[in-house]
Chain A
């Protein structure tokens, strides 16, 4: 009889202590100033807002993230210099956005002017900027709490060399190795910030797209143990389902903001 009691305690304890928690993460990437629907069909900020709203109605504590390159690609960007994108992304309620290479298209000062209007955190851990205000504005990582889970999010950006045509940008930035940066970030977020879940918000790309970039999201998953999820961008790689590398799901949408990726993490 006693034995049965013991067994019951043994098997039931986990259930009483922790009910299953679901964390909903919505992600976008490479929306490239597509304010209006692409070819009048898919995407646009109006549709994106409504879809996020419907998800929020089901799950108030969701996480909304963008993996960069929200600038450049339509005449809205040429005419209004990114003002409309930032205004709309503010209202959308992004929890964090990582920097893409096209964010630098009109130089560092233009980037600063746009981003100082942003109410969402902008992340990039593997660059230093010789632009004091920008260096202060861009954070390597943030820590947010959703549904009692402490989540650490850090940003990564591809090598701008050979990609960005503005010499003042290349002279005023210092690129750090993404793998080493990711390892340092994991250490910081685990040991100092005591996060339960670590997300790498990456604009490094899923696979080779240009000459100078040598590491990609799968390399980061392999080399930086401790990351729980890589949300990618840059290579416009449509991954219908996550590519799991070294136990880490890697996700990415195509471009132009035609879709939102929805990741539901089930914690036991």
Chain B
């Protein structure tokens, strides 16, 4: 009988050992609302103080004004048009300065334009929210057939922002494509203004981007966000405000 008792105790121990492996859980989220702020002895406030001072001084500078809300969305929108137009013009100014052939068109990604521009004063901080990434302008020389491949992935509800190209969509698909005023020629070489993120395959916009040879790419030290800031400053200096303008770069038939 004692042997049996010993056996059962050992069995109990084994069961206990097994049970150690399984577990149950309780799960919840702690929402970090304002009740967690302004509490005593929080070292984060002290760490942040000197940085916040520098940061806020820079970010609160007002550079212009928007007459109405400027959104960024497919197939075209005031803010995405603005960004690609700035990219196109700034790249061509760079080309003129460095005696390079001008670019034919520009291309960005909607993922790189992170927010809308609200009506009212525009601060530098707001442009950082819209364009937080340090994206460098670059110029790629590529075949018309590659451009066609890029555009053929577009639909009227899912495309990427561009300037100096025009796409007519039929049943959501690109039916006709023009570049800088002329129909896209698959055999012609084009010069595309974009940013390094896209050149290196970001968001998979350029199919097989690794096949683009470095000799066909010029990467500048110009950051897109800084060019957008300069553009708005120039508008303000000329007494102009940002307004909601669309054009015929994307037409849905």
Contact = CB atoms under 8 A, between A and B. Distances in A.
A266 B118 CA distance: 48
A165 B202 contact: yes
A18 B54 contact: no
A115 to B, nearest CB: 18
Nearest to A267: B23
Contacts of A84: 47-48, 51
Nearest to A14: B16
A73 interface: yes
B19 A268 contact: yes
B182 interface: no
Given A47-B37, A75-B59, A261 B27 contact: yes
Interface residues of B, number: 57
B12 A9 contact: yes
B interface, over-half SS: helix
A202 interface: no
A230 B58 CA distance: 40
B100 interface: no
A258 interface: yes
A264 B55 contact: no
A174 interface: no
Q: Interface residues of A toward B: which range?
A: 35 or more
Nearest to B202: A165
Interface string A250-261: 010100011111
B238 interface: no
Interface string B132-149: 111100000000000000
Contact of B32 (A11, A48, A251, A268): A48
A42 interface: yes
A88 B33 contact: no
Given A6-B8, A13-B13, 18 more contacts: A6-B4, A10-B9, A10-B11, A36-B52, A41-B34, A42-B31, A46-B45, A48-B36, A84-B48, A88-B47, A162-B201, A163-B202, A210-B203, A228-B23, A258-B32, A264-B25, A265-B24, A266-B23
A-B pairs, top 3 by smallest CB distance, nearest first, are: A165-B197, A47-B36, A75-B128
28 contacts: A6-B4, A9-B5, A9-B12, A13-B9, A13-B13, A14-B12, A42-B31, A46-B36, A49-B44, A50-B37, A74-B132, A79-B58, A80-B51, A84-B47, A84-B51, A91-B43, A164-B202, A165-B198, A170-B200, A196-B20, A210-B203, A212-B204, A242-B25, A260-B29, A261-B29, A262-B27, A263-B25, A268-B23
